[in-house]
Amino acid sequence: MKSILKSRLLKKTYSEKKALWGFLYVLPWLLGFIFFFFVPLLSSLQFSFSKITANSEGITVKYIGFENYVEALTVNTSFNRVLTESIVNIVVNIPLIVIFSLFLAVLLNQKFIGRSAARAIFFLPVILASGVIMNLESTSLVQAISDASSGAKVVNSLQSFELEKMMLQAGVSEWIVNYLTGSVDRIYQIVSQSGVQILIFLAGIQTISPQLYEASKMEGATGYEAFWKITFPMVSPLILVNVIYTIVDSVSTNEITDLILDTGFSAFNFGLSSAMATIYFVAVALILLISTYLISRKVFYYD
Amino acid sequence: MRNSRLLSVESWKRWIWSFVRLVLIAGLSFLILYPILQKISTAIKDKEDLYSPIVVWVPIHYTWDNFKQAIMIMDYWETLVNTFALSISTTILTAISCALAGYGFARLKFKGSNLLFAGVILTILVPPSTILIPLYLNLKDFTLLGIVPLLTGKSANLLNTYWPFILTALTANSLKAGLYIFIFRQFFRGIPKEVEEAAYIDGAGVGRTFSRIMLPNAIPAIITVLLFSFVWQWNDSFFTTTYLSSGKVMSVQLSALPYNLNNIVSGGSSQADPFYLSMVQDTGILLAILPLIIIYFFVQRYFVEGIERTGIVG
């Protein structure tokens, strides 16, 4: 009895001690969170409702209500267009990237000669796909010229032109055809955005126990069935992870962020820029919420 | 008899599938490697070959002029050293602070820790451009609640120094740090509690348990975070070009490259050949990513293995 009491006492102090240490361990992050995230987030909100004028004494902030939002949504010539374009782009790309990376992860998980080399190549975009490089690449003249004149001509003419005709003749709805062929044309963009997603799927596939596959093989399941009945449900939680990662990754730099930065740092209209950023954040949060809601209903959890 | 025919159909199917797989993987690999190969081919080309219709991939006249030009304009060696210094220091600081926070969130629960972890998720979800401007103004007049003016008499301007990066790394709020905290937390949760308790019974405090028992067990997670953090800091143009606009760092030099190039090659007055400019620019990009590619050759093994064991998945 006494010993139980004693141990309980000890345990309590231990957990108290742990709580104290836990706070200490989290403290650096908490400080950073407050100074470099939370306060800026609040002041971004405040800026979006104010007119900011910079003078020799610093900046003055004057409350003007929803004027900035009104200006962003109704007066500014490019904001609405760029916002919808970027959002549509992100939404269109999500399923493509996720399906493509799942498919490639399944491929890269199979045994074949040169697998490690193939894996290394497919993760290369993780280190190459970054803002500046992508920007400069799209403006590279040499590449454009040689694309038009030589080797890549084959690649270009091999684009989905024929496929498009065939599918249209077969009576597939035009919208679907455009979506599919558009994705073939943008294949480089999709490949270069799916490095991390392939990694995550691959890791997930490797945690599935081989017994499941063996059992299904004994029962006579084909590889196709095994994919849909075993692999797909087992990695479905990761589909959620990957969708969220894809959204977060693709919102960090695109045309809309360029516009926000331009408005802030070139036109020095900090208020308008903050209002734009806030609208953008709300839009992104909506996409995240909707997709999380839709997917999490379908996700299968093994345990 | 029937059995053997079935077998042969099966084997045919297998052969066709591996052929399709080969074509797919080879094609996509080519797609990924294509820009790099193209850049290499452009970089070693002479000016003459640029307009030659015969030259597609392999140039007739090899030259190092493009490299020399790009190295000179980008101030390459100094930039390289600076970028390495910046990336390595932020990477190490980020890994330490994120490991601490991750362990705190995973095992050392205290009142409100779940609420704070929701804050971590929030930092992952909010687009960086939302907080960039207030952060910029804040760093321009850095007071830290009035402590800095108290010590030095006036507020500090941290722009164009490495301080923004070091401070955010030290406090686990640098680029994508929320993701790293998440990785560490998931990993530490996967380590059995018994290990910790055994260490405690043997007389180790929380700090010792963390540094002697948990950290050595978390090497895959540490490697993953180090690699990602290094690569993303190296490539980051978003924060770097705003905070460090005049610094000699790779991504700043890269984004300023077209402008500088035009200035130097054309001397500011006469019109330079745009193809030649583009050629040097491609060489510049190649030079900027070359160190990463070389490092990647050596560590890609860990890249692939590391994330599989980080437990993001489980």
Task: Read off the pLDDT of each residue in B281-303 and give the average, rounded to a whole number.
Answer: 81
Which residues of B are less than 8 Å from A38 in CB distance? 119
A28, closest residue in chain B (CA to CA): B171
Who has greater pLDDT, B295 or A175?
B295
A108, closest residue in chain B (CA to CA): B25
Spell out the alpha helix ranges (H) of chain B: 2-43, 65-74, 76-106, 113-125, 128-140, 147-152, 163-170, 177-190, 193-201, 206-208, 215-217, 219-235, 238-243, 250-266, 274-308
Which residues of B are less than 8 Å from A19 in CB distance? 108-111
Say which amino acid occupies A218: M
% of chain A beyond a pLDDT of 90: 1
Split at pLDDT 50, 70, 90, the class of B7 is low
Say which amino acid occupies A264: G
Say which amino acid occupies B4: S
Nearest to B43 by CA among B64, B73, B72, B74: B64
% of chain A beyond a pLDDT of 70: 79
Identify from A23, A26, A79 which residue to disrupt to test chain B contact, counting B C-beta atoms within 10 A and taking the largest count: A26
The model's pTM is 0.80
Q: According to the per-residue pLDDT averaged within each range, which of A57-61, B19-23, B28-32, B139-143 is highest?
A: B19-23
Split at pLDDT 50, 70, 90, the class of B96 is very high
pLDDT at residue A113 is higher than 70: yes
Who has greater pLDDT, B3 or A277?
A277
ipTM of predicted assembly, 2 dp: 0.79
How open is the CA angle B234-B237-B240, to the nearest 5 degrees?
80
- How many Å apart are CA B96 and CA A292, to the nearest integer? 31
- Per-chain mean pLDDT for chain B: 79
- How many Å apart are CA A233 and CA A211, to the nearest integer? 16
Mean pLDDT lowest for which of A33-47, A136-150, B101-115?
Answer: A136-150
Which residues contact residue B173 at a Cβ distance below 8 angstroms, ignoring those fewer than 6 apart? Answer: A29, A32, A33, A36, A37, B123
Q: Does residue A47 contact residue A270 with C-beta atoms inside 8 Å?
A: yes
| Residue A154, pLDDT score | 44
Who has greater pLDDT, A57 or B169?
B169
- Scanning A16-45 for CB atoms below 8 A from B yields 17-26, 28-33, 35-41, 43-44
Backbone dihedral region of B153: left (phi > 0), alpha (psi from -120 to 50 degrees) or beta? left
CA B24 to chain centroid, in Å, comes to 28
Q: Does residue B277 contact residue B69 with C-beta atoms inside 8 Å?
A: no
Task: Read off the pLDDT of each residue in B3-22 and give the average, rounded to a whole number.
Answer: 77
- Scanning B62-91 for CB atoms below 8 A from A yields none
Q: Which two tokens stand for residue B166?
A: 């070091």
Other C-beta atoms closer than 10 Å to the C-beta of B47 total: 14
Mean pLDDT lowest for which of A80-94, A129-143, A226-240?
Answer: A129-143
Which residues of A are less than 8 Å from B128 in CB distance? 252, 257
Task: Read off the pLDDT of each residue in B166-189 and give the average, rounded to a whole number.
Answer: 85
Q: According to the per-residue pLDDT averaged within each range, which of A77-86, A125-134, B46-55, B245-254 is highest?
A: A77-86
| Residue A163, pLDDT score | 65
% of chain B beyond a pLDDT of 90: 4
Task: Read off the pLDDT of each residue in B95-113 and give the average, rounded to a whole number.
Answer: 88
| Residue A95, pLDDT score | 87
DSSP per-residue string spanning B85-119: HHHHHHHHHHHHHHHHHHHHHHT---TTHHHHHHH
- How many Å apart are CA A269 and CA A262, to the nearest integer? 9
pLDDT at residue A23 is higher than 50: yes
pLDDT at residue B221 is higher than 60: yes
- Per-chain mean pLDDT for chain A: 78
Interchain CB distance below 8 Å, B127 and A252:
yes
How open is the CA angle B123-B126-B131, to the nearest 5 degrees?
95
| Residue B72, pLDDT score | 82
3-state secondary structure at position A242:
helix
Who has greater pLDDT, A157 or A58?
A58
Task: Read off the pLDDT of each residue in A27-56 and give the average, rounded to a whole number.
Answer: 84
Distances (CA, A) of A238 to A298, B2, B180: 12, 43, 17
Task: Read off the pLDDT of each residue in B98-124 and give the average, rounded to a whole number.
Answer: 87
Q: Does residue B239 contact residue B175 with C-beta atoms inside 8 Å?
A: yes
pLDDT at residue A80 is higher than 60: yes
Nearest to A39 by CA among B75, B144, B264, B27: B144
Q: Which two tokens stand for residue B173?
A: 């709020």
Which residues of A are less than 8 Å from B103 in CB distance? 25
Split at pLDDT 50, 70, 90, the class of B267 is low
Nearest-CB residue to B313 (from A137, A203, A273): A203
Pick the CATH number of A77-298 from 1.10.760.10, 1.10.3720.10, 2.120.10.10, 2.30.110.10: 1.10.3720.10
| Residue B276, pLDDT score | 76
Who has greater pLDDT, A50 or A145?
A50
- Scanning A46-105 for CB atoms below 8 A from B yields 47, 58-59, 104
| Residue B208, pLDDT score | 85
Burial (CB count <10 Å: 0-12, 13-18, 19+), residue A51: middle
Task: Read off the pLDDT of each residue in A133-159 and give the average, rounded to a whole number.
Answer: 53
* pLDDT tens, position by position, A148-184: 554 444 444 445 556 667 777 777 777 777 777 777 7
| Residue B272, pLDDT score | 64
Task: Read off the pLDDT of each residue in A194-223 and give the average, rounded to a whole number.
Answer: 84
A140, closest residue in chain B (CA to CA): B278
Handedness of CA A96, A102, A108, A111 (dihedral sign): negative
Split at pLDDT 50, 70, 90, the class of A145 is low
| Residue B98, pLDDT score | 92
Task: Read off the pLDDT of each residue in B24-29 and give the average, rounded to a whole number.
Answer: 87
Q: According to the per-residue pLDDT averaged within each range, which of A242-246, B8-12, B64-68, B303-307 is highest?
A: A242-246
Place of tokens 């999500």: A94
The distance of B63 to chain A (nearest Cα, Å) reads 17
